Structure 1
Amino acid sequence: MTKAPKAAGQYRFHPAVAEWFDTAFAQATEAQRRAWPLIQAGQTTLIAAPTGSGKTLTAFLAAIDALVRESAAAPLPDETRVLYVSPLKALSNDIRVNLLAPLEGIGRALEAHGLPPHGIRAAVRTGDTTQAERNAMRRRAPHILVSTPESLYVLLGSDSGRAMLSKVRTVIVDEIHAVAGSKRGSHLSLSLERLDALCGRPPVRVGLSATQKPISAVAQFLAGAGRDCAVVDVGHVRARDLNLELPPVPLEAVMANDVWERVYDRLAELTVMHRTTLIFVNTRRMAERMARHLADRLGGERVAAHHGSLAKESRLDAEQRLKRGELQVLIATASLELGIDIGDVDLVCQIGSPRSIASFLQRVGRSGHYVGGMPKGRLFPTSRDDLVECAALLDCVRRDELDALRVPPAPLDVMAQQIVAEVACREWGEDALFDLLRRAAPYAGLERRRYDEVLHMLTDGYTSRQGVRGAYLHHDTVSRTLRGRRGGKMTAVMSGGTIPDNADYTVLLEPSGQNIGTVHEDFAVESLAGDVFQLGNTSYRIQRIESGKVRVEDAHGAAPNIPFWIGEAPGRTDELSIGVARLRAEIDHLLAAAPDGEAAIESVVGWLGEHLGLRDDAARQIADYLARSRAALGALPSRDTLVMERFFDESGGMQLVIHAPYGSRVNRAWGLALRKRFCRTFNFELQAAATEDAIVLSLSESHSFPLDEVWRYLKSATAEHILIQALLDAPLFNVRWRWNATTALALPRFTGGRKVAPQLQRMKSDDLLAAVFPDQAACLENIVGERELPSHPLVDQTLDDCLHEAMDSEAWLALLRRMEAGEVRLLSRDLPAPSPLAMEILNARPYAFLDDAPLEERRTQAVMNRRWTDPASTDDLGALDSGAIAAVAGEAWPSPRNSDEMQEALMSLAAITQAEAAAREGWPGWLQSLADSGRATRLRSRDADLWTALERLPCVQAAYPDAGATPPLQARDNGEEWSRDTALVEILRARLSGFGPQTVAAIAGPLALSASTVTIALTQLESEGYVMRGRFTPGTTAEEWCERHLLARIHRYTIRSLRREIEPVERQDFMRFLFEWQHLAPDTQLQGEDALPQALAQLEGFEAAAGAWESELLAARVKDYSSLWLDDLCRAGKIVWTRVGAPASASGGPVRSTPLVLRT
């Protein structure tokens, strides 16, 4: 080859490699220009570039060039030189296919110039690789091996695999951001260190990713602890076409089915407008549901679903059909989020917020997935809070913000698995193995103490009850060496990995036995033979259900049920939560600054359009929703302002909602700890739930307390201890324990060559937990005080996972410290009905629940939804209806009609003052009659003058020991002793049942008691949940007290009054309104030519026969109507006439009966 192409001289590529590249591409991208010299120099390199920037080819071409150069000197030996690791099996298959193009092109270039072929072979080794393909690799190793983290681990644990990998020179880790922030990444980092130790000379590492932050942490993760890494960061900033799509009706807390129909219609419309469309949803159930509805609109052959519960053949078929242009739309979960090649996608739609900035960018980046392409994405919010979150997401993208990556620090369960696997292959010194582990970035801070504890667990057994039968290692303490025990190697290989097992049932199509996919265990168990369900946009009828299997037949399109799957919902990222809180705070500021409500809304709409680029409909919905919420709560919750609200439900209980837009990981920790604190205070288990923006606690009738005190229920110094005790009661701990015990090989996934059934795995997990942590499985009646945590690596790791992965206890404790320092504004509101912001937490999905009560038993179901329409209509319990208060107070006060009923009144109220009796007709006579018969008496002291019944006399005399009785009576001794304090509490309990809201002064005055004495007694009643305090009466500024059942009745009457204000009118009234509105009533008819446009504007879009327009419709609305007026408007172009439907036949023009529409 005499002429070197332009790329060869610049990047020192082999001429054939450079020729192929220059032929295939116009020029190198920035990522390629900067990365190639670094990779060729043998430096560990991290390439951070947007999707579609050619970064995968960047890494491969440098490695291929080295192989081509080596093959030019001599035929390549059968050794694996390049290892490509991908987080997805589908991506691995896709990469192998994409490798063929450069390899074949370079081969042709070599052949054209008479050079020997390169002979480079590539192969894929994943869990889907057939046994025949694996055997072929053992006999003749490929030069480029494409694999997954789990398959790399398996290869490192087998003799043939280690032989294959021992000559690796380059390791490419694709989509590194997808694994670095999880235990899967920690597992991979240890595998890479084991590979370094195996190869002798550490291979060059190349990392690829689209979205990363902080870049230094990702680089360190790739290179390992204490090693340098060159970073090629071309930034994630990229021109994008992004916007919101809203249904034509306002969003609510839950999207109704008829609104979903509008969404499906719009998605179908967008699909028709584009060549290929990719729709991302957040759940597998939604993917199936949406696929069915879109198939009804577009045709089943043009729509497909793609998610992790479909068989790999079904997923691959959908990918290839989309790539070939046979599919118009593919509905997918995160299974298509990464860089699988599915061809050119024109549009990406995201249904609901993806809860992550990085996920959104990654998903939208699937469109325009080529160098220079512009991604196009549309967000479809599903609720009002989701709309706000989606707007905040667009704002974060506009600000070029990214989610921060958090690498789990030294997970012990992963380390235990990798130690067993490595020591099973060769003998290790305990110090040398410790050094190897610490070279992995996640384990750089590993303490020797924790390492020794794990070694002790692996050499002495996971629990003392098992003894060495459960051990995998032999520890020679004399020589300080570690060797594997029999069976450890097989267990490590067969049961490795960090992806948790699920209890899904395999769906098999009869009679072929073809694997269709999986459904959740609960769905399978609840189904019956003959039921029809959908999987992969195809209907199947159940034939029979076996252990772990559902056998089905094709239902040929019969109407199906949609299966469900149960799993942990990912929490919203901290950066997106900050974005949501920032948006709320900005809107709160705008609403507060405006002079009136209408001006405030318009200012918010204008700001959202100018700064976020939102359309008017989306901006107005956000403005209206948050304005109504602010009017109800007094402020919008943000990072620096938290709001708590309390309101009655229909059962007489109350709901307590804390609005905190800190994300579900923080709110879950707060909710669990607060629930435990309530339990300890009131000795009552509460129902609770936590979402991204709020926490709800369902209170019973026994709960009563000053609302402001709840902010101080938890102190930062002791809060984590309370959270841990609460966590031990939650299902989360046991689930995470099972995952960690499985990862640490304490619960092998396979026994005797067969997979352990999920039910047995759960039982074994419970047994192991009982042996390691007896208090966790003990009968609660036998536990004195708190559970004592054992010192065990797996218990410690499970707690760490719960506190810092499933929850974010550190951020929550930091929030508590800010609250204690007064850095956060705390507002408390008692409301007659839930605020608009509370409606979503009240309708929370089961994954948000913090207790095990099922959905149908949730106390939040007793909350009636009030449709807030006017921001000025919201206020707290201080705005309870005065008529309702008066009505309830009147109903509560007794109305006796004779002396017997008078005695009942004395019993219910405990004591009645002489002034109260004198003010009511007939009372003095009835009281005197009771006194004459010895059934009541009058107690008089220096200040008090009370009537009481004989049965109440001991109690009232204890409260007024100096009072004299007239007539003197002797009550029957029932053995009950009264102190003055308990007597006062009982008297106030009885008296408050007959009054509405009262101040302390109003309660104390008639009874001749001091305010302090009454306050003490009222506080005791409050702790019992009997009374509540607040400012209830309109216009009052003093604190009032009211018996809770009476207050609940006032609340109901207030709501009833509000509902009466919007009750539907009678039919005749509505018809009268229509006649007046349409100017058909004699006194509302229009007059004159100038009035005709007004009448036509009201009828615009209405279809009527051509002959009826002038003779019936317009003449009835305009008194002196003339047909010349309509002719003049038509000639002037101000009115046009048309027909909506197609004509029945093509012959002839319009006739008098032809339906026409007039448009202005």
Structure 2
Amino acid sequence: MFAGRLENLTPPHNPLNVLAQQTVAAAAMDALQVDEWYSRVRRAAPWKDLPRRVFDATLDMLSGRYPSGDFSAFRPKLVWNTETGILTARPGAQLLAVTSGGTIPDRGMYSVLLPEGEEKAGSRRVGELDEEMVYESRVNDIITLGATSWRIQQITRDQVIVTPAPGRSARLPFWRGEGNGRPAELGEMIGDFLHLLADGAFFSGTIPPWLAEENTIANIQGLIDEQRNATGIVPGSRHLVLERCRDEIGDWRIILHSPYGRRVHEPWALAIAGRIHALWGADASVVASDDGIVARIPDTDGKLPDAAIFLFEPEKLLQIVREAVGSSALFAARFRECAARALLMPGRTPGHRTPLWQQRLRASQLLEIAQGYPDFPVILETLRECLQDVYDLPALERLMRRLNGGEIQISDVTTTTPSPFATSLLFGYVAEFMYQSDAPLAERQASVLSLDSELLRNLLGQVDPGELLDPQVIRQVEEELQRLAPGRRAKGEEGLFDLLRELGPMTVEDLAQRHTGSSEEVASYLENLLAVKRIFPAMISGQERLACMDDAARLRDALGVRLPESLPEIYLHRVSYPLRDLFLRYLRAHALVTAEQLAHEFSLGIAIVEEQLQQLREQGLVMNLQQDIWVSDEVFRRLRLRSLQAAREATRPVAATTYARLLLERQGVLPATDGSPALFASTSPGVYEGVDGVMRVIEQLAGVGLPASLWESQILPARVRDYSSEMLDELLATGAVIWSGQKNWVKMTAWRHCIYRNMLQNRSLPPKRIRRIVRRCNKR
């Protein structure tokens, strides 16, 4: 710092997410000519060598020309007329660009504010809190922000309202951030400094003023001496140290002391994890930090792990990193940020926060779809960002060449306890896994088993899920999915296009039913869409329908639909899974579907339809309910949630008098009524009669201990209308009923309870105990 040495700064190279964002913003202001826009983009340094093919792929993404029908949930932002080469913005594009623009990732922070009217001067804003911190906080908690303590008064969806709490003990908040990692140049300088400290050359020369204090020098020298005593060598830029020590359960902890920073260590750790898994067959749980790499290896009787597991051929190492980064946690996190910058995530509402967990769910849904298409622009941009902006692969390659050439050495040492330098590394390692669940590490990314869910449901005796769905909810969801429900109908020309894109080919009459405009307006909109070749007519199942231009190749390859000769070539490229896309879209646009319904819709044989449905079921995309009823997995979750809500709304608490009446009816005190609100509508005592009635009461109250006087004065007379003591004597004389005192109430002779002889004999009591109880009853 004092020498004025700065790290190298590398501008982003072809950031496609920023390109997508700026294209939407520019098109929202005025129509763009594609070729002119491409030339203008390449004048900016980050895109000066942007390939035209990648540029066109980005425009395809923005205009909804996705590689699969799975992307149908993500609405296009632009309209690209390939014949005229003009880009125009769709409704809402300008608002989206204004509210969701920028490159700083949205972390879903909560604003911390003072209550309204309590700010003395300036803004109400106190600061920000992390979403996880707020989730773990409660009203009246005391937290510290800045130099002041604050009491949480209220937690809303977007804000935390606080009031000053001076002088109160408070807990410190935390923010989960992702640091950029130490640059390799700085790491090498830190390593050189450690060598100077270890050699004693630093303190023998002129010491900078900021290190001239005696205590500072003593502390630094003490730390260096302790590290040297533990490992024999102080690690630095020219000499790395591999430390081995046992953990608490006897496994090996492998700690590589290296100063080159996390940007170098993280990609290196990916390759190390793969090698350890190949050698020992276990997940190494490798964690990288600025000061080194920590891994865990199961206890083995063979050769101890040595420095060889850290050495790779440079070219091979880079290849391993490129192949492994796509399945890393870093890739998933960066994909969410890239998708948000490309305006593929839900738009932000000014003044409101979007919860980070919801962003993650939405991004995971998009990633699950897009990961099967490696040329998808956001996938490409995420890979570029990881490999260029996050990882420093050129520095890793240089380090590996120096290690293989002997310019940098690695020494390995075995210690009984972690060395001083390993303390901070292990603290971060423990923090990485402290809150992880017991799920197997590999299974956090893939399912453990592929089970036949229907067979498993039969084995467990579970109810068919279809039986739990509310018929009224099914009808409501069907109307909503088909855009027939109030408030769900399309508007304007773009609304008609969205109907064809989301629901598939339809007749003019079907489109008119789902549009708010008149028949004349719908006809005019359709003429415009036909004129600019965004839709085309097609004969499907003997009906003339209108289809979205993006479906041209899909309909041709799946159903053999004859296409108009004037269609642009760009829409005629082969589609990977055309029939699968058509089926999935149809299932996602309906509540419940039968195989016959699909066969009729697409004019296909029933065998072809059932085979395709079984494939979709095996992939977990659809469910087979009762007999021949099929439903999309997404739609089923919606139906189940709405049915549950309907059931809860139908279950409402009754009045206390109604509940009391029910108890009395079940006890036989009052006769059953037709729901009369009167608590005592009948004055006649009891609803049972005769000896059988007495037996029924005793059956109902078997095992209940009560004072003996209550049985014949209140309990039995209230339930048996013609009760007399002779009825109970008859039951006792025949042995059908016996009386027995509670074991711990022997001295309290007034408390007894009634037990059946049959129940007593069926219980797991010793015979002597049974005979003793019977003798005591007979004596009575």
Scaled by the length of structure 2, the TM-score of the pair is: 0.51
Q: Which amino acid in structure 2 is aligned with residue 710 of structure 1? A: A
State the 1:543 CA deviation.
3.1
Query: Aligned to 1:854, which of 420, 435, 444?
Result: 435
SS in 2 for 1:687: coil
Give the distance between the partners of 2:32 and 2:303, measured in 1 at CA.
62
Q: Which amino acid in structure 1 is aligned with residue 416 of structure 2? A: P
Match of 2:359 in 1: 761
Give the distance between the partners of 2:323 and 2:240, measured in 1 at CA.
25
Match of 1:416 in 2: 20
Note closer, same or farther for the CA distance 1:846–1:803 as it changes in structure 2 (3 Å cut).
Answer: farther
Match of 1:657 in 2: 255
SS in 2 for 1:420: helix
Give the distance between the partners of 2:208 and 2:117, measured in 1 at CA.
59
Match of 2:100 in 1: 495
Q: Does 1:719 align with 2:317?
A: yes
Give the distance between the partners of 2:398 and 2:47, measured in 1 at CA.
26
Q: Does 1:550 align with 2:148?
A: no
Match of 1:701 in 2: 299
Q: Which amino acid in structure 2 is aligned with residue 819 of structure 1? A: L
Query: Aligned to 1:739, which of 337, 344, 359?
Result: 337
Q: How does 1:271-286 map to 2 (within 5 A)?
A: none
Give the distance between the partners of 1:749 and 1:711, measured in 2 at CA.
46
Q: Does 1:473 align with 2:54?
A: no
State the 1:703 CA deviation.
8.0
Match of 1:437 in 2: 41
Q: Which amino acid in structure 2 is aligned with residue 816 of structure 1? A: M
Q: Which amino acid in structure 2 is aligned with residue 741 of structure 1? A: A
Match of 2:130 in 1: 520
State the 1:446 CA deviation.
2.0
Give the distance between the partners of 1:610 and 1:540, measured in 2 at CA.
41
Q: Does 1:609 align with 2:207?
A: yes
Q: Which amino acid in structure 1 is aligned with residue 328 of structure 2? A: A
SS in 2 for 1:534: strand
SS in 2 for 1:516: strand
Note closer, same or farther for the CA distance 1:468–1:617 as it changes in structure 2 (3 Å cut).
Answer: closer
Match of 1:564 in 2: 174
Give the distance between the partners of 2:426 and 2:206, measured in 1 at CA.
28
Query: Aligned to 1:836, which of 420, 438, 448?
Result: 420
Match of 1:676 in 2: 274
**Cα distance per residue 1:94-152 (max 9 Å; x no partner):** xxxxxxxxxxxxxxxxxxxxxxxxxxxxxxxxxxxxxxxxxxxxxxxxxxxxxxxxxxx
Q: Which amino acid in structure 2 is aligned with residue 666 of structure 1? A: V
SS in 1 for 2:139: coil
Give the distance between the partners of 1:707 and 1:424, measured in 2 at CA.
59
SS in 2 for 1:656: strand
Q: How many residues align?
A: 432
Give the distance between the partners of 1:770 and 1:641, measured in 2 at CA.
43
**Cα distance per residue 1:496-544 (max 9 Å; x no partner):** 1111111222333335484433211111111122211122333222234
Cα contact 1:529–1:545 (8 A) shared by 2: yes
Cα contact 1:461–1:468 (8 A) shared by 2: no
State the 1:755 CA deviation.
5.4
**Cα distance per residue 1:311-361 (max 9 Å; x no partner):** xxxxxxxxxxxxxxxxxxxxxxxxxxxxxxxxxxxxxxxxxxxxxxxxxxx
**Higher relative contact order (Cα pairs below 8 Å, separated by 6+ residues):** 2
Give the distance between the partners of 2:236 and 2:258, measured in 1 at CA.
7
Q: Which amino acid in structure 2 is aligned with residue 766 of structure 1? A: S
Cα contact 1:462–1:746 (8 A) shared by 2: no
Q: Which amino acid in structure 2 is aligned with residue 568 of structure 1? A: E
Cα contact 1:459–1:468 (8 A) shared by 2: no
SS in 2 for 1:843: helix
Q: How does 1:935-946 map to 2 (within 5 A)?
A: none
Query: Aligned to 2:407, which of 801, 813, 823?
Result: 823
Q: Give the RMSD, CA atoms, in angstroms.
A: 3.0
Give the distance between the partners of 1:624 and 1:856, measured in 2 at CA.
40
Give the distance between the partners of 1:751 and 1:609, measured in 2 at CA.
56
Q: Does 1:793 align with 2:377?
A: yes
Give the distance between the partners of 1:713 and 1:797, measured in 2 at CA.
29
Match of 1:459 in 2: 63
Long gaps (5+) in structure 1 = 1-395, 592-600, 775-788, 858-1160
Query: Aligned to 1:578, which of 182, 188, 191?
Result: 188
State the 1:418 CA deviation.
0.4
State the 1:494 CA deviation.
1.7
Query: Aligned to 1:748, which of 303, 328, 346?
Result: 346
Cα contact 1:677–1:722 (8 A) shared by 2: no
**Cα distance per residue 1:395-438 (max 9 Å; x no partner):** x42x3312222211121100110011112222222221112111
Q: Which amino acid in structure 2 is aligned with residue 835 of structure 1? A: S
**Cα distance per residue 1:147-196 (max 9 Å; x no partner):** xxxxxxxxxxxxxxxxxxxxxxxxxxxxxxxxxxxxxxxxxxxxxxxxxx
Cα contact 2:105–2:337 (8 A) shared by 1: yes
Q: Does 1:447 align with 2:51?
A: yes
Give the distance between the partners of 2:301 and 2:19, measured in 1 at CA.
47
Give the distance between the partners of 1:604 and 1:469, measured in 2 at CA.
60
Give the distance between the partners of 2:377 and 2:227, measured in 1 at CA.
47
State the 1:726 CA deviation.
4.3
Match of 2:753 in 1: none
Q: How does 1:114-263 map to 2 (within 5 A)?
A: none
State the 1:566 CA deviation.
0.9
Q: Does 1:539 align with 2:123?
A: no
Give the distance between the partners of 2:255 and 2:131, measured in 1 at CA.
34
Cα contact 1:646–1:656 (8 A) shared by 2: yes
Give the distance between the partners of 1:682 and 1:758, measured in 2 at CA.
37
Cα contact 1:605–1:616 (8 A) shared by 2: no
Q: Does 1:636 align with 2:234?
A: yes
Match of 1:184 in 2: none
Note closer, same or farther for the CA distance 1:484–1:633 as it changes in structure 2 (3 Å cut).
Answer: same
Long gaps (5+) in structure 2 = 119-123, 439-780
Match of 2:554 in 1: none
Match of 1:379 in 2: none
SS in 2 for 1:750: coil
Q: Does 1:509 align with 2:114?
A: yes
Give the distance between the partners of 1:521 and 1:712, measured in 2 at CA.
38
Give the distance between the partners of 1:534 and 1:443, measured in 2 at CA.
45
Cα contact 1:461–1:469 (8 A) shared by 2: no
Note closer, same or farther for the CA distance 1:826–1:458 as it changes in structure 2 (3 Å cut).
Answer: same
SS in 1 for 2:428: coil
Match of 1:804 in 2: 388
Note closer, same or farther for the CA distance 1:836–1:459 as it changes in structure 2 (3 Å cut).
Answer: same
Cα contact 1:413–1:794 (8 A) shared by 2: yes
Cα contact 1:428–1:483 (8 A) shared by 2: yes
Give the distance between the partners of 1:508 and 1:746, measured in 2 at CA.
31
Q: Which amino acid in structure 1 is aligned with residue 162 of structure 2? A: V
Identity of aligned residues (%): 31
Q: Which amino acid in structure 2 is aligned with residue 746 of structure 1? A: L
Match of 1:151 in 2: none
State the 1:469 CA deviation.
6.1
Give the distance between the partners of 2:266 and 2:181, measured in 1 at CA.
10
Match of 2:89 in 1: 484
Give the distance between the partners of 1:608 and 1:728, measured in 2 at CA.
50
Give the distance between the partners of 2:287 and 2:64, measured in 1 at CA.
41
Give the distance between the partners of 1:486 and 1:529, measured in 2 at CA.
42
SS in 1 for 2:63: helix
Note closer, same or farther for the CA distance 1:470–1:729 as it changes in structure 2 (3 Å cut).
Answer: same
Query: Aligned to 1:624, which of 219, 222, 225?
Result: 222
